[in-house]
Structure 1
Amino acid sequence: MSFVSYKKYPNSLQAKEIASLLSKYNILNEYVENKNSLDSNFSSVLLEEYEIKIKPEDFKKADEILFKQASQLIDSLPDDYYLFSFSNKELIDIVIKKDEWSELDYALAIHLLKSRGVSVTNESIEKANNQRINELKKPEKSNSAWIAVGYICAILGGFLGYVIGYILLTQKKTLPNGERIYVYSESDRKHGKNILYLGTSFFVLSIILVLTL
């Protein structure tokens, strides 16, 4: 099975350290530098993102490795580290939505909850993870205006219609457990398929008309 996106980091050093750590525990991984810049007339970089990809079946093992490493850093944190001022409710939210937080913040949230007498068991964490996965599995709501634009552009033979249709039909996302799912609902994907077919048909028709004139 091919690699899928596991973690993304804002700097290369952090990403390379994680890649090295995973390799140490025999988890095959791929380090990717994603840079979106302005055209060649500009030198500034708009976005730099450093990504680690692994196989879906290695997600659980990788999570355990990173959690263990992060837990070892807790005692070295400064007293004014921002999570120390979080309420129990805010810390629980971190545990539930760990995919939105760093490994260190996730490990610290669990540590703080336990130190405050809040019961955080492996079973409760597993339950929270499953609930989060089910929440993330819900299809994203598409923009009806963009679907309409897609149909219009497809009929006019515009490239934008093809792009909108392709995104609606094929775009996927990776869940925290490594599972890959479609981003949009079955209904929206049907719209995407229709837009692609219309766009292709009208594009071919326009070429035929041009050649016959």
Structure 2
Amino acid sequence: MLPRHDVAFETNSGRPAFDVTCANHETSTHFVVKLHPQDFEIVRGLEEAQNQQLIGQVSPDHYLFTFTDEELIDVLLKPNEWNGFAVTLARQILQDRGKLISSEAVLLLRKQRTADRQVLAYSASDRVHGLRIMVLGVVMVVVLVCFRIYSAT
């Protein structure tokens, strides 16, 4: 599909050349498609169009049809935890149920969700202590360089 739309891409298996475990695990193989940054939106649009075509072929017993509205909204908010088709189907199911959610609203909710999940790894006192250690290290390097220059003359 990408060559038909003049999108430059490169593919590889994502598998390392040497398996350090020597176990040759086929389940750890990933398929990687590399794109230019400016082509991401084009490819997302192509994927969305492909998913829209596939929605007409979905069987009525697909598991997403059993989801509640809240669960479907959760699929929209966490697209990285779902495949693209599931996200598109969730949006379509919500629309069929009369729940219209705009793309802008989904983006705002995703940004809010990202901000809510941001957790600092260290406490405030630990960060201040780290800053003190860094400043002391820089001061000691400057003192050492000055001492070397002074003792060399």
Normalised-by-shorter TM-score class = 0.5 to 0.7
Q: Structure 1 residue 127: deviation in Å?
A: 3.0
Q: Could you say what secondary structure the match of 1:72 adopts? A: helix
Match runs of 1:5-44 below 5 Å? 21-35=1-15, 38-39=19-20, 41-44=22-25
Q: Structure 1 residue 128: deviation in Å?
A: 1.6
Cα RMSD between the aligned structures? 3.1
Hey, what does 2:99 align to over in structure 1?
A: 118
Hey, what does 1:65 align to over in structure 2?
A: 46
Q: Distance in 2 between matches of 1:35 and 1:71?
A: 31
Q: In structure 2, do the counterparts of structure 1 residues 78 and 139 end up closer, same or farther at CA, with 3 Å as the change threshold?
A: same
Question: In the alignment, is residue 82 of structure 1 matched against residue 60 of structure 2?
Answer: no
Q: Percent identity?
A: 24
Hey, what does 2:105 align to over in structure 1?
A: 127
Checking the alignment, whether the CA contact within 8 Å between 1:95 and 1:125 is kept in structure 2 is no
Hey, what does 1:142 align to over in structure 2?
A: 121
Q: Which amino acid aligns with 1:34?
A: G
Which moved further from structure 2: 33-42 or 52-61?
33-42
Q: Unmatched 5+ residue regions in structure 1?
A: 1-20, 149-186, 202-213
Aligned length in residues: 128
Hey, what does 1:171 align to over in structure 2?
A: none
Q: In structure 2, do the counterparts of structure 1 residues 68 and 46 end up closer, same or farther at CA, with 3 Å as the change threshold?
A: closer
Q: Which amino acid aligns with 1:74?
A: I
Moved over 6 A (4+): none
Q: Unmatched 5+ residue regions in structure 2?
A: 142-153
TM-score normalised by L of structure 1 = 0.49
Q: Which amino acid aligns with 2:7?
A: I
Hey, what does 1:51 align to over in structure 2?
A: 32
Q: Distance in 2 between matches of 1:28 and 1:139?
A: 35
